[in-house]
Copies of this chain bind each other. A is one copy, B any other.
Amino acid sequence: MFYGTFNHAIDAKGRTSLPARFREALAAAGEPKVFLIQAAGMKALRALPLSEWKKLEERVLKVSPFDQRGQKNILRYISSAQEIDLDEHGRVLVPAQLRSYAGLQKDVVWTGMGRDMCLWDKARFEEQQAEEMAPDDAIDFFQGG
């Protein structure tokens, strides 16, 4: 599972190191690559390991060409997707389009999200962190299910 938060930099070419912890987790699963997509509902990116991407693929291939809502989702999330191989130092190259979507400047933040990871611009991440959470939501999270 992916967890933890890591501050990294992103260079002029759009490269940023995947945290070593995450790399280990990927390597353990024998999947030295990630799939970057726009994150739903927040201006950030999600990095999916191969296994999670496959699940998404299956779902996509079932969507009818005449399903308007499905097509809209595909347009947003699949059209933005990119398969990224890690370079020899474990860096991911974030394509320009995704960089601008997430507003990635120089300082970025990686967060482990359980089955996958998120990549934020540092400023945006801090805004997100500053937001208060309703206590009840947390109760549901920890006791529920």
Interface of A toward B, CB cutoff 8 Å: 1, 3-5, 7, 40-41, 56-57, 59-61, 63, 65-66, 68-83, 95, 97, 111-116, 118, 128-129, 133, 135, 137-142, 144-145
Stoichiometry, copies per complex: 2
Chain B residues, Cβ within 8 Å of A77: 138, 141
Task: Please name all residues of chain B whose beta carbon is closer than 8 Å to the beta carbon of A116 when the two chains form the complex.
Answer: 65
B40 near A78 with CB under 8 A, answer: no
Q: What are the residues of chain B within 8 A of A111 when measuring CB–CB?
A: 75, 79
Q: How far is the CA of A10 from the CA of B109 in the complex (A)?
A: 26
Q: Is the CB of A4 within 8 A of B75?
A: no
Contact of A135 among B40, B63, B139 (CB under 8 A): B40
The 8 Å CB contact of A56, one of B76, B97, B142, is B142
